[in-house]
Amino acid sequence: MSDMFVTLGTWNWLIFGVLLMALELLAPGIFLFWLGLAALLVGLISFVTTPGWQLQILMFALFAIAAVPLWRRLARTNAAPSQDNPFLNRRSAALVGRVFTLEKPIIDGNGTVRIDDTVWRVAGPDTPAGSRVRIVQADGAHLTVTAA
């Protein structure tokens, strides 16, 4: 292994980095990308100064760990979650603001509303059946309503 490093010289890290990035594309699981990034970085440094291969490996490990918080900060500031369907798998959240007719009266804070041909239990102030309620909050399958 060390022979290979010696013969290929400083190109080792660049080749390694590119290989890792290609692997990341084939088998997604975002962590290989950072390893590749770290390898490329070590390769660039070894052009300027050539430390021992052990030190290079330590640098590689350090960069890989450091890439995570950096990348996270970058992802947070840069890529705002601009989903075109923000309510995917969050069905109840999509109901907030809509107005429905109360099917069963709200007694002691609990009643039912018929939405999309299924029954949802809602919580809110006591209201007689048949009155119109607006969904103001959705927490999982629990909907909170007020009189509309």
Partner 1 sequence: MSGFDVFAILLVLLVIVTLYSGVKTVPQGFDWTVERFGKYTGTLSPGLNIIVPFFDRIGRKINMMEQVIDIPEQEVITKDNATVTVDGVAFYQVFDAAKASYEVANLNQAIVTLTMTNIRSVMGAMDLDQVLSHRDEINERLLRVVDAAVSPWGLKVNRIEIKDIVPPADLVEAMGRQMKAERVKRADILQAEGQRQSEILRAEGAKQSQILQAEGRRESAFLDAQARERAAEAEAKATQMVSDAISKGDVAALNYFIADKYIKAFGQLADSPNQKVIMLPLEATGMLASLAGIGEIAKATFGESSASAVAAARRGGSVPSAGTPPAPPVPPRT
Number of residues that bind partner 1 (CB under 8 A): 29
Among 8, 61, 99, 147, binds partner 1 (CB under 8 A): 61
Site for partner 1 in 104-123 (CB under 8 A): 112, 117-121
64/31 Cα distance (integer angstroms): 9
Residues 6 or more apart whose Cβ sits within 8 Å of residue 107: 126
Structure tokens at 47: 């052009």
The reply to whether 91 sits near partner 1 by the rule CB under 8 A is: yes
Site for partner 1 in 31-60 (CB under 8 A): 31, 34-35, 54, 57-58, 60
The reply to whether 87 sits near partner 1 by the rule CB under 8 A is: no
Q: Is 46 exposed, middle or buried (0-12, 13-18, 19+ CB in 10 A)?
A: buried
The reply to whether 82 sits near partner 1 by the rule CB under 8 A is: no
Residues 6 or more apart whose Cβ sits within 8 Å of residue 52: none
Residues 6 or more apart whose Cβ sits within 8 Å of residue 75: none
Point out which residues bind partner 1 (CB under 8 A): 28-31, 34-35, 54, 57-58, 60-61, 64-65, 68, 72, 75, 81, 88-89, 91-92, 112, 117-121, 140-141
